[in-house]
Amino acid sequence: MESYKNIFKATSLFGGVSGLKLVLNLVRNKIAAELLGPAGTGLNSIYNETRELIHSTTNLGLDISGIRNISKSYEKWRTAKVENEKLLYHEELLDEISLLRSWVMLLAIVGSVFCLTMAMPLSFFTFQNLEHTLGYMFLSPAVGFSTLVCGELTILKATRHLKLVATLSVVFVLFAIVISLPLYYFLRINGVLPALVLLFLAEVLAVLYCSYKHYKPHFCFQFEQLKKGLPVLKLGIAFAIAGMFTHGTQLGIKSFFNTTDDGTALIGLYAAGYGIVMQVAGVLFAALDNDFFPRLAGIFGNLEERRTTVYQQIKVTLPISLLAVAICIPALPILLPLLNSEQYLPAIPMAQFAMAGLVFRAIYLPFSYLNLAAGASRTFLCLELISNAIILACVIPCYYYFEYSGYNGLTGVGLGLLIAQIIDTIISYTIAKIKYGL
């Protein structure tokens, strides 16, 4: 009963925090749109998406894969009964943290240097001119800062400082309001870049202060020491590649829409409908990244605890998801126009089908994390590739079927997303049963 209570507390904590962040971001984005106008918000979007792309590529997925070894060491230290064992496992924990910090520091430098040296090609690729070369050079520190932030948050998650992680996530949104909005007000579009860099500088200072209080900074840059982190990098690279598959699939769907008569309008409708579904998913499943995965990685070697941890998580997450979906589906005709405009009403049936898929996602995600917790990078990568292929294989035929049957083709896209999620859940459970004894 105590374990259920802890899972529910973590789910409530991170779900509530995600909901608060969502509201704060909506307020911030609304004010920013008024101050910057379409040109300013577009510039901010391009710079921020480019920073995120470089960061997510150069950090090699360490924000996920790095949790595994630290969680194992933390669990051994936490459950040790003998004082000598406790001291030994504490040293092992500190070594794992030091190793992760060393790799994160190196990758942060790589990301910043890449953005700095590739500023000219990035400007040409994103703006089709070289006018923003200096802008990307100025942005380069933000890439490194965001990698350092992710690294320290990984350490705090793996060592179960969940309230601190939740607090920091809200503080980061408040930083975005306090730092960016005054700059937007006084500098307008010229405040976009300074706001981004200062925001990530503030985030990295806050997270370093909190993390270093618990685990004092120590780095090891000798090759023999760094070599111990290669298995973590291998899993992280698989995770980074999987992210590329996901982005590629979404790009593929939008490119497919571009081949239709209403291409641009369809993309806008799809983005609005799918976006609101992902926002709800972010609130529902925030605890899985922050609490469930570190716990699962820590006890993975014990089959009985592994089974219990996965099934308990599903028993808590599934009813909450059912309730949220039951509320959100009938509320979408109000929410979607409220957050956008009445022009987006055709996206409602698509969003309702896709929202229903979140019920199956509540089962799918706990099983899918098993591969990451096991360090099975090949299995994880293969399943991600299959998952994204299934989405394309379901979405496109369903679009055509609805379109040529005289219905809204976008509704077929939503049905395709739901079918793909059901198939993914079946495959994920089958692998968990065969490979991990669930």
List pLDDT tens digits, range 235-248: 778 877 887 787 77
Q: Which of 215, 231, 295 is nearest to 60 (CA)?
A: 231
Q: What is the DSSP string of 339-405?
A: HS-GGGGGGHHHHHHHHHHHHHHHHHHHHHHHHHHHT-HHHHHHHHHHHHHHHHHHHHHHHHHHHHT
The DSSP symbol for 215 reads S
pLDDT at 203: 94
pLDDT at 60: 83
Q: Which of 435, 282, 273 is nearest to 368 (CA)?
A: 435
End-to-end CA distance of the chain: 21
Query: In the numeric block, which tokens belong to residue 360?
Result: 């199956």
pLDDT at 357: 94
The count of C-alpha atoms lying within 13 angstroms of the C-alpha of 222, restricted to the half-sphere facing its C-beta, is: 3
Neighbour-count burial of 201, counting CB atoms closer than 10 A to its CB (0-12 exposed, 13-18 middle, 19+ buried) = middle
* Residues 173-190: tens digit of each pLDDT: 899 899 999 998 999 889
pLDDT at 309: 87
Query: In the numeric block, which tokens belong to residue 203?
Result: 């985030």
Give the CA distances from residue 436 to residues 34, 59, 265, 340, 418, in Å, rounded to whole numbers and listed in that order. 52, 29, 45, 44, 26
pLDDT at 292: 84
Neighbour-count burial of 244, counting CB atoms closer than 10 A to its CB (0-12 exposed, 13-18 middle, 19+ buried) = middle
Q: Which of 141, 67, 15, 61 is nearest to 298 (CA)?
A: 67
Residue 70 CB neighbour total at 10 angstroms: 28
pLDDT at 56: 82
Q: Taking a C-beta distance cutoff of 8 angstroms, is the pair 122, 37 a contact?
A: no
Q: Which of 28, 16, 51 is nearest to 135 (CA)?
A: 51
The pLDDT tens digits along the chain (438 residues) read: 656 666 667 667 776 777 777 777 777 777 777 788 767 777 887 788 788 888 888 888 887 788 888 988 998 898 888 888 889 989 999 999 999 999 999 999 999 999 999 999 988 887 778 888 999 999 999 999 999 999 999 999 989 898 899 899 889 989 989 999 999 899 988 998 999 999 999 999 999 999 999 999 888 888 878 888 888 888 778 877 887 787 778 778 877 777 776 666 777 778 778 888 888 888 888 778 778 888 888 888 888 888 888 898 899 889 989 998 999 999 988 887 777 667 778 889 999 999 999 999 999 999 988 888 887 888 888 888 899 999 999 999 999 998 888 778 889 999 999 999 999 999 999 999 998 887
Task: Write down the pTM of the prediction.
Answer: 0.81
Q: Taking a C-beta distance cutoff of 8 angstroms, is the pair 71, 294 a contact?
A: yes
CA-to-CA distance for 421 and 437, rounded, in angstroms? 22
Q: Taking a C-beta distance cutoff of 8 angstroms, is the pair 431, 364 a contact?
A: no
* Residues 198-254: tens digit of each pLDDT: 999 999 999 999 999 999 988 888 887 888 888 888 877 887 788 778 777 877 887
Give the start-to-end residue ranges of the domains of the chain: 1-221, 230-438
* Residues 307-331: tens digit of each pLDDT: 888 898 899 889 989 998 999 999 9
Residue with tokens 């309730």: 323
